[in-house]
Structure 1
Amino acid sequence: MYKGNDSISIIVNDEVKQVAVNVTLQSVIEVYCEIRGVDMSAIAAALNGDVITRSRWQSQVCQANDKLELFSVVAGG
């Protein structure tokens, strides 16, 4: 995801990833969706076990060793 000098390690869906220091959750999710060809509107996020609402993605800064779980939202009943 990132190959710069100022990076931290986070875990995204059980894979260790290097990201820029002070990167937002929004940026990580954008890259994840682009790489996987997933529509960002169909993604939900949990950071360290807590669901993070879409309205907080832009302001939530990732910290070293954060555990991010991204999953597809499925509508239905």
Structure 2
Amino acid sequence: MIEIHINGESQQLAANITLAEILALKHITPQSVAVVVNHTIIPRSQWSQHQCQADDQLEFFSAVSGG
């Protein structure tokens, strides 16, 4: 198990978990968010290969339209 921080909240998750697996675990539709890991935007095409590390800081941002 590793500890990561998702939108400021600590989470204990399995080691070697990918961003895609975290989104599925959280029931988040991939098309509805952008993901930032340690202040770096991770392209959607890399989510299934990007493995999270202990103490990573993840931020999920929802797309909002309007004006």
d(CA) in 2 for partners of 1:72 and 1:57? 16
Alignment partner, residue 16 of structure 1: 10
Q: CA deviation at 1:75?
A: 3.7
d(CA) in 2 for partners of 1:54 and 1:75? 20
Alignment partner, residue 58 of structure 2: 68
Verify the 8 A CA contact 2:4 2:11 in the aligned structure 1.
yes
Q: TM-score, normalised by structure 2?
A: 0.90
Verify the 8 A CA contact 2:23 2:29 in the aligned structure 1.
no
Indicate the structure whose relative CO is greater, using CA pairs within 8 Å and at least 6 residues apart.
2
Supply the AA of the counterpart residue of 1:21. Answer: A
Q: CA deviation at 1:76?
A: 4.7
Q: Which runs of 4+ in 1 moved over 4 A?
A: none
Matched, 1:51 2:45: no
Q: Which has the larger radius of gyration?
A: 1
d(CA) in 2 for partners of 1:61 and 1:39? 19
Q: CA deviation at 1:30?
A: 1.5
Give me the CA root mean square deviation: 1.3
Return 5+ residue gaps in structure 2 as ranges. none
Verify the 8 A CA contact 1:42 1:74 in the aligned structure 2.
no
SS at match of 2:20: helix
